[in-house]
Structure 1
Amino acid sequence: MGPPSSPLLSVKHVVPPARPGAVVRQRLYDRLRAAQDARLCVVVAPAGWGKTTVLALWAREPEQRPRTAWVSLDASDDEPVRFWTYVLTALRGVDPQVGKRALAALSAPAVEPVAVALPLLINDLAATSGRYVLVLDDVHVLHDRRVWEALEFLVTYLPESLRVVMAARADPALPLARLRARGQLTELRAADLRFTLEESTALVAAVGGVRLPPSSSTQLWERTEGWAVGLQLAALSVRGSDQPEAAVSRLRGDDRHILDYLATEVLDALEPVERDLLVRTSVLDRLSGSLCDAVLGRSGSAEILRHVEDVNLFVAALDPGRRWYRCHSLLRDVLRRELETTHPDAVPSLLGRAADWYAAEDRMDEAARLLIAAGDVDGAMDLLRTSQAWFFESGAAAVYLQLGEEAVSSGGAADAEVFVMLAYAAVLSGRFDRARHWCDAADLLVEDRTPSIDGWLSARACLLTMRAAYGHEEGDRSAADLVEGGRAVHLETDPALPGYVLARAALASAHMRAERYGDAVALLNEAWQHPARALLPTPALLQTAGLLALNLLQVGAAEAAREVCAEVAAPADAVEHAWGEAAAASVAWLRLVEGRLARSDGDLVFARRRLRRAVELAEVWGRDVELVRALSSLAEVQLAAGDRQAAREAATRAREVADAAPIRRLAAAELQAVETRLGRGAVRAARRLGRLHEELTDRELSVLQAFSGPATQREVSAALFLSVNTVKGYTKSLYRKLGASSRRDAVERGRALGLV
Structure 2
Amino acid sequence: MARGSGEVDDDLLLKVSPPRVPRDLVSRARLLSAETPIRDLRAILVQAPAGFGKTSLLAQWRLEHLSHGAVVGWVSAQPQDEPQRLAQSLALAIRRAAGRSTFGHTLLEAVGPGGLEGITMWLAELAQSALDVVLIVDEAERLPAASREALAYLMRNAPTNLRVIVAARPDVHLDIDDLLAYGQCVAIGSSSLRFRLDETMQLMRSRLGARVDNDTAARLHELTEGWPLGLQLALTLIARGVDARADVADMGVLSAELHEHFVKRLLAHLDPGDSEFLVRISILDHLHPELCGAVTEFADADERLARLSRETPVFAASERGDWLRMHTLARDVLRKLFSALTPAQQSQAHARAAEWLAEHRLLEYAARHALTAGQNQKAYELAERSLYESIMRHGRQGAVLDWLAELPAAELDRRPRLLLAAAWTLAVSERHEEAERLVARILAQPEVDDKLSCECALILAGAAVFADDPDRFAALHDPWADAAPPHDPMLLQVIANRKAYRALLEGEPALARLREQQAPRGDFSRGVGYTQRWGEFIVGLSYIWEGQVQLADSLLRPAVASADAELGRRNSFSCMLAALQAAAAWECDRPRDAATVLADRLDILERSGLPESLLLAYRTMARMAAAEGAEHRALELLEALDAVGAVRRLPRLRIASLTEQVRMHAGRYRSQSCRELCERIDALCRDDALSQGRLWRRNVDVLREVALSYAAIAAKDWRLALEPLKRADAMARVLKQGRLRIELLGLHAFALDQCGEDSHGRLREAVDLADTFGLRRVFADAHPDLGNWVSRVAADGLQRASLVARPAAPAAKVEEVQEVRTASAYGMVLTPKEREVLELLARNLSNKEIGRAMQVGETTVKWHVKNLFAKLDAGTRKQAVLRARILGLIKTEG
TM-score after normalising by structure 2: 0.35
Q: Which structure is larger by alpha-carbon Rg, 1 or 2?
A: 2
TM-score after normalising by structure 1: 0.40
* RCO higher in structure (CA 8 A, sep ≥6): 1
